Amino acid sequence: MTVLVIGAGALGSYFGGKLIQEGVPVTFLVRSGRYQQIQKDGLVVHSVHGDFHLHPPILQRISSASHYDVVFLAVKSYHLPNLWDTLDQLVTQGSVIIPLLNGVAHMDELLARYGPEHVLGGICYTEATLLPSGVVEQTSPMQELVVGSVTGNLPANIAFLGEAFARQGVQFTESPNIMTDMWIKYIFLVVFSAATTVFKNSIGEILADEHSASWLSYALEETITVARSLQVALPEDIHSRIWNRIQSLPLSMTSSMFKDSQRGYPLEVEHLQGYLTRQAWTYHVQIPRMETAYWALRPLALGQNIAKMA
């Protein structure tokens, strides 16, 4: 099996590096700034599960002769429009794409363009950050990947990947209900990222204030209502499940969106809060709190330090 990881940020570097350590042939497709970092210093990961320093094959573009069995798409959502030509070529050559993007909007686009035979759903759970130095810091005991097909039929070679990840201590789950699982994570993330970024505060400070905690709970209910309008098969107790998860988070925790906003980086607003708002408009669902959050975040979407993201 050959694997291509598009993007060598925190997630791509970490999970791609895990496969390399199992002897899986992994190549990274990266932008110019990251290419120069890896070419100079290698792929450096500091992790609570053990550090590693690798020198993997890296590319800035794929050749017409390239073939990869599996492609992990590990980029920010705002980079996806620039990758269509590359993905078209990879799918034509028989690749299966496993996107690890936040949210669910990208699945609509990928499935419409390539079909379920070439696109699987993917979710990852861990905490990792790409530092300006190019070093990845992975700080969470959790290291999990969930993969599934919208048709329920996974390619046989996915089991091989799961075994390779498992030998590296990564929990790998084959989900029979991947879109539901993706929506559950999305509901949590879209509300959590909105609250921490709009209020510019940690989850502990938000929950400690009666009014902001109430806003958060109602925003969660609004988001669930949109999902149900789209006929997403959610558990009956989904509100309490996610609310309990929010309350169990470390008090100092903020979202990656909040951290990116503090650094002046582009934000995934359109892919997260924007997608939710547009779906609410389509299905005539009132979401005053989340729609207000969207309009508040929208001016920050492009960021101020775009050059740092090269």
Residues with a catalytic annotation lie at: 185
Listed in sequence order, the residues at least 6 apart from 105 whose beta carbon sits closer than 8 Å to its beta carbon are 77, 271, 275
Residue type for position 188: F
Q: Which own/partner pairs from 137-140 qualify as long-range (CB within 8 Å, at least 24 positions apart)? A: 137/10, 137/45, 137/46, 137/47, 138/10, 138/14, 138/45, 138/46, 138/47, 138/48, 138/49, 139/47, 139/48, 140/48
Q: What is the distance between the alpha carbons of residues 122 and 76, in angstroms, rounded to a whole number?
A: 14
Closest C-alpha to 272, from 181, 199, 148, 187: 187
Q: SS3 sequence, 104-139?
A: CHHHHHHHHHHCCCCECEEEEECCEEECCCCCEEEC
Q: What is the distance between the alpha carbons of residues 98 and 78, in angstroms, rounded to a whole number?
A: 17
Contact indicator for 119, 148 with CB cutoff of 8 Å: no
Residue owning tokens 């002046």: 264
- The torsion of the CA quartet 73, 299, 32, 53, rounded to 10 degrees, works out to -60
